[in-house]
Structure 1
Amino acid sequence: MQKYRYWVAGILIILAGVFIIYFSKENEIKTVTVNENAAQTTEITEASTNEPSMIPDDDKVAITDISAKYKELGLIDAHNHDASGLKYLGMLRTWKDKGVQQVVMFGDVSEPSAILTDKFAWKAYQKYPNIIIPYFSGFDLHDPESLTVVRNNLEMGFFGLGEVVGASTMSPVVSKVVWKANDPMDGYLPQIYDIIAEYKAPILLHIDPPNGVAVAKLEQALEEHPKTIIIFGHINAYNTPEEIDRLLSKHPNLYADFFAGFSVYNVEGGNNPEQFIPVMKKFPDRFMLSTDSGYGIGSEKIAIDAMYQMLDLLDDPGLARKIAHDNLDAIMKAQPATDTQLELIRKLEQETGKIYHVENLSKAEAGQILAETN
């Protein structure tokens, strides 16, 4: 009986050893497989960040020289969708290398998914308050609740609304979004214009086509809401210098977001960016430049290069500084700190004992304080 017990115990020990060896090998195989898959994923991710370039090789050196020439202007990208897919995380180094000082950032536009990308833009601002200027567009402008969303977001510290689809029948993308307006006076947009005027915040409107009823309604909005800053998104796309001149001459509260990449690199832009220089010089305080994240030209990087090429065409350092930086910067700095921001700063004073002089704080200054202590 004793021998039988030893025999059974021996068999069990051998079986246990076999199982241990088997499962150890299986785990090793699984670990190797997971690591290989992770490596493949990393390679795919890295490869996907290598954007194609539409710049001929012979022109790259000249463009690099132009970028270096204007790098100290503090270029602000006035229209950027890099909150979508957290693309901005892969662009931070590029912005630094190319001298892009700040970026007006949002994500998806005028559709439910924009609610999430608005949050991404805000989180990016909290981490990089010296770089990111957050806008938002995650609200249904046909719903009265949109008025609450707009006020709450501006109170929180967002600097503007955008990109908001004020009209679209031609765009293959935004003509299909569910929260777009039929025209710039549709839904609750008139009330929204009044709210943002209180905060001295701008609204970046997408309007296509840039003529007809949509533009007539834009002009109505500008006339009926003279204290509201409306920025016509990518105003040069499928538009003429003469029409831009007419609009800016008539409406002092209209600003022009100039998508340089469209006029410099997109064949549908005519490849004649020089034609816009006279109107830019005529209204030096009303233009700003943007990349639109490289929409339609294959790369945000070359969209940045296009902005520098437009600055070079101006052939006027003072004017280049205004359009590259000062015009949009002035709109941001003119926004006062909100009641919500001031309340949070007063709580900070009580908690830390540090005194902040809140009397004349701008929204940007208040946002910087709150981001640094977040």
Structure 2
Amino acid sequence: MRNMWEKWLGISVCIMVWAEFSILLTSCSSSSDTKRAAPVATQEPVQEIAKADAPETPPVKTLEELVKEYGDLPLIDSHNHDASGSRYRIAEDSWKQYGVDRVVLFGDVSEFSAINTDEVSWKAYQAEPERIIPFTSGINLLDKSGLDMAKANLEKGYFGIGEIAAASTFSPVLSKVEWKTQNPMDGILPQLYELAAKYKVPFLLHIDPPNGAPIAKLEEALDKYPDTTIIFGHGNAYNSPENLDALLQKHPNLYVDFFAGFTAFNPESSNKLEDFVPVMKKFPDKFMLSTDAGYGLPGGETQAIEGMYRLIDALGDRKLAQKIAHDNLYGLISRQPATRTQVDRIKKSDSQTGKTRNYKNLSKVEAGLILSGKEK
């Protein structure tokens, strides 16, 4: 019996040893398989190759870098509301810092308070006639007295009429102003177009929406008053390059004020700056840049200035950029003759000093410098 028990005990031990040896062999085999499988993960190297083949996105230039690159180009802000609240006094530091050489300045639009902001822009012009270009917007468009006000201001030396609320349905501000018209042929606008042509001054219009009936009336005005230069204010806002192309093809007396900050930074814009470059190249003499004093932008006027520089960068052509940034608007300003009122004042002053000059060919720019005491 004892021998049989020892025999069974020996067999059990052998079975246990064999079982442990089998487990050990399985573990070694599994470990070996795991080590062989590890290098199969080739996804990461594939990604690295793809990254190497893909073109790198160029870094976004800062405003300071853009100014450094393009600050030598002359730049005019063709639409600025900083006469309101005399904000221009604060903005002047930014203009100097970011290379804004001249500013078309006015304030409130098509309401009684605009008469006061017109005076603010005039005083700013007298202090800095080489930087400020005053426009008049305090004109009652619904009464004939507005015609007398506009004529008096143009005789005084203002360089343009506007911004004028010729049509506004959706603007939170201009849809509510007291002197707005229903469309660009309403009120005394036809007589004002004739006055603008007589004085050779541009006429800056706000029109919203930028399609439908208001634009049909704009085209009527452009056709009926071909000698009047009309600037479509912030014509790119809520508008397409195709619409601007169609208008510019038909109307040689139309210019477009391009609010670059809207297209560059306002999330409501459905276009990019690059989308407008082809139409600008097609009509290089018909565009000008503006800030609209930063309306609707989180970064305000400074961001709007950045938008102008980003458009200049997107053009990829310094000669074209100078036209759009400066020459087109300044051409409309520099070609204006001095008014009779200005010439009479200069003659009176010269008679007291014994100075003589060619009064017949004086420009309004020259007359303004003389009368402000800034003549070189």
Same fold, judged at TM 0.5 (above): yes
Give the 5 Å matches for 1:31-42.
none
Tell me how far apart the structure 1 counterparts of residues 121 and 260 of structure 2 sit (CA, whole Å).
Answer: 23
Give the 5 Å matches for 1:58-207.
62-207=62-207
Residue 307 of structure 1 corresponds to: 308
Tell me how far apart the structure 1 counterparts of residues 238 and 60 of structure 2 sit (CA, whole Å).
Answer: 27
Aligned alpha-carbon RMSD (Å): 1.4
Tell me how far apart the structure 2 counterparts of residues 74 and 171 of structure 1 sit (CA, whole Å).
Answer: 31
Q: Residue deviations 1:14-59, cap 9 Å, x none? A: xxxxxxxxxxxxxxxxxxxxxxxxxxxxxxxxxxxxxxxxxxxx97
Tell me how far apart the structure 1 counterparts of residues 301 and 62 of structure 2 sit (CA, whole Å).
Answer: 18
Tell me how far apart the structure 2 counterparts of residues 63 and 343 of structure 1 sit (CA, whole Å).
Answer: 46
Tell me how far apart the structure 1 counterparts of residues 297 and 289 of structure 2 sit (CA, whole Å).
Answer: 16
Shift in CA distance, 265/342, structure 1 to aligned 2, threshold 3 Å: same
* Aligned partner of residue 71 in structure 2, secondary structure: helix
Deviation at 1:65, TM superposition (A): 1.3
* Aligned partner of residue 110 in structure 2, secondary structure: coil
Residue 242 of structure 2 corresponds to: 242
Tell me how far apart the structure 2 counterparts of residues 334 and 167 of structure 1 sit (CA, whole Å).
Answer: 29
Residue 286 of structure 1 corresponds to: 286
Unmatched segments (≥5 aa) in structure 2: 1-57
Deviation at 1:270, TM superposition (A): 2.8
Residue 365 of structure 2 corresponds to: 364
Residue 321 of structure 1 corresponds to: 322
Q: Residue deviations 1:122-169, cap 9 Å, x none? A: 000000100000001111111111111111110100000111001000
Tell me how far apart the structure 2 counterparts of residues 62 and 94 of structure 1 sit (CA, whole Å).
Answer: 15
Q: What fraction of aligned residue pairs are identical, expressed as a percent? A: 56
Q: Residue deviations 1:283-329, cap 9 Å, x none? A: 00000000000000031011001101001100011000100000001
Residue 255 of structure 1 corresponds to: 255
Equivalent residues of 1:345, 1:356 under 8 A apart:
no
Tell me how far apart the structure 2 counterparts of residues 59 and 296 of structure 1 sit (CA, whole Å).
Answer: 26
Give the 5 Å matches for 1:226-241.
226-241=226-241
Deviation at 1:92, TM superposition (A): 1.0
Equivalent residues of 2:263, 2:273 under 8 A apart:
yes
Tell me how far apart the structure 2 counterparts of residues 270 and 301 of structure 1 sit (CA, whole Å).
Answer: 22
Equivalent residues of 1:265, 1:271 under 8 A apart:
no
Tell me how far apart the structure 2 counterparts of residues 113 and 332 of structure 1 sit (CA, whole Å).
Answer: 26
Deviation at 1:63, TM superposition (A): 2.9
Q: Which amino acid aligns with 1:321?
A: Q
Deviation at 1:354, TM superposition (A): 2.1
Tell me how far apart the structure 1 counterparts of residues 59 and 125 of structure 2 sit (CA, whole Å).
Answer: 35
Tell me how far apart the structure 1 counterparts of residues 70 and 349 of structure 2 sit (CA, whole Å).
Answer: 40
Where does structure 1 differ by over 4 angstroms across 4 or more consecutive aligned residues?
Answer: 58-61
Shift in CA distance, 274/350, structure 1 to aligned 2, threshold 3 Å: same
Tell me how far apart the structure 2 counterparts of residues 161 and 191 of structure 1 sit (CA, whole Å).
Answer: 12
Whichever of the two has the greater Rg, that structure is 2
Q: Which amino acid aligns with 1:363?
A: K
